[in-house]
Amino acid sequence: MPRVAYLTHADCAKHDVGPWHPESPERVQAVDAALRAAPWFGELLAIEAPYATPEQLARAHTQAHVDAVRAAVPEQGVTWLDPDTGLTPHSWHAACAAAGAAVRAVDTVMAGAAQRAFCNVRPPGHHAEADRAMGFCLFNNAAVGIHHALAVHGLARVALVDFDVHHGNGSEDIFRGETRVLLLSSFRHPFYPHSGVQPHAGYVPVPLPAGADGRRFRETVERDVLPGLDAFRPELICVSAGFDAHRDDPLGGLNLLEDDYAWITRTLCALADRHAQGRLVSVLEGGYDLGALGRSAAAHVEAMR
């Protein structure tokens, strides 16, 4: 059995709002190239992501939001939903493929076809709230996958660990009050979207100051994340894998390195082995220096093996 599944879709590179935008098609291409260059790439179970259905999207989002995104897709050019978040003629299919990858990844690990899965997809998702697109995100890919795990596979405890440099406000919004989901989000603070520092039931914020390095990140995770995650005993661990906390990232302002991403991945895989039969699904979020993104994603996937 392949230990790690790799999911992507060609449509994820077709969502392109302009050459100036940091959330570019080259991101998934850089990750794909870095993975294919690894000597272990042939061991991965390669899967073409399907499109998420409107029903699957509407488990995480309001039907009005799903309908509004679809209706706003232009026949040509770019339609802006906010100053950062645009739609092109290809964006609907790209967004459905990104969310569909998370759904298929959940099905893959639940069926035992692989123990872990990594979704190399865009647009990213963790800023998309139940009824609002924002921060480059149209639909919350990880949340769509988790709701699928709850509704279709009947899981009672799913953990979502978000280590993007930005707070996953969309995930916090979608899962607020959902007792079956524990969200743990590390992020630079203060920073966009200027939210997320207040803990509440089912949510553990892990704010980091500007300039924090890997040592600070690891110490904070060991103190504030791992005990609660272990006590929760998740049946599935999902990851919003943002690599924009890397030292080389132009948007981030933190100082993590590839080894730090490998460390958090190994740590989460060990937790998955203890509580979730090894089941872990990771979905790409941020990361805007192409070299650092590719290297970090490769370190992340290698640590899943």
Alpha-helical (H) ranges within 153-253 are 169-175, 214-224, 226-232
pLDDT per residue rounded down to tens, the chain (305 residues): 679 999 999 999 999 999 999 999 999 999 999 999 999 999 999 999 999 999 999 999 999 999 999 999 999 999 999 999 999 999 999 999 999 999 999 999 999 999 999 999 999 999 999 999 999 999 999 999 999 999 999 999 999 999 999 999 999 999 999 999 999 999 999 999 999 999 999 999 999 999 999 999 999 999 999 999 999 999 999 999 999 999 999 999 999 999 999 999 999 999 999 999 999 999 999 999 999 999 999 999 999 99
Q: What is the DSSP letter of 90?
A: T
Beta bridge partners of 237: 159, 280
- Give residue 2's pLDDT: 76
The CA distance from 296 to 30, in Å, is 11
b/e string for 274-294 if b means 16 or more Cβ within 10 A? ebbebbbbbbbbbbbbbebbb
Amino acid residing at 39: P
- Give residue 1's pLDDT: 66
Residue 109 DSSP SS3: helix
Sign of CA dihedral 108, 112, 113, 116: positive
Beta bridge partners of 48: 8
Q: What is the DSSP letter of 51?
A: P
pTM over 0.85: yes
Residues in contact with 77: Cβ distance below 8 Å, sequence separation at least 6, in sequence order: 88
- Give residue 242's pLDDT: 98
- Give residue 136's pLDDT: 98
* Residue tagged 């490769």 (tokens): 298
Residues in contact with 263: Cβ distance below 8 Å, sequence separation at least 6, in sequence order: 214, 218, 303
Phi, psi for 5 (deg, rounded to 5): -95, 145
The CA distance from 105 to 273, in Å, is 17
Cα distances (Å, whole numbers) of residue 108 to 3, 72, 149:
11, 32, 11
Cβ pair 60, 51 in contact under 8 A: no
What angle, rounded to 10 degrees, do the helices at 290-304 and 26-36 form?
Answer: 50
As annotated, the active-site residues are 127
For 135-176, give the secondary structure using H, E and C.
CCECCCHHHHHHHHHHHHCCCCCEEEEECCCCCCHHHHHHHC
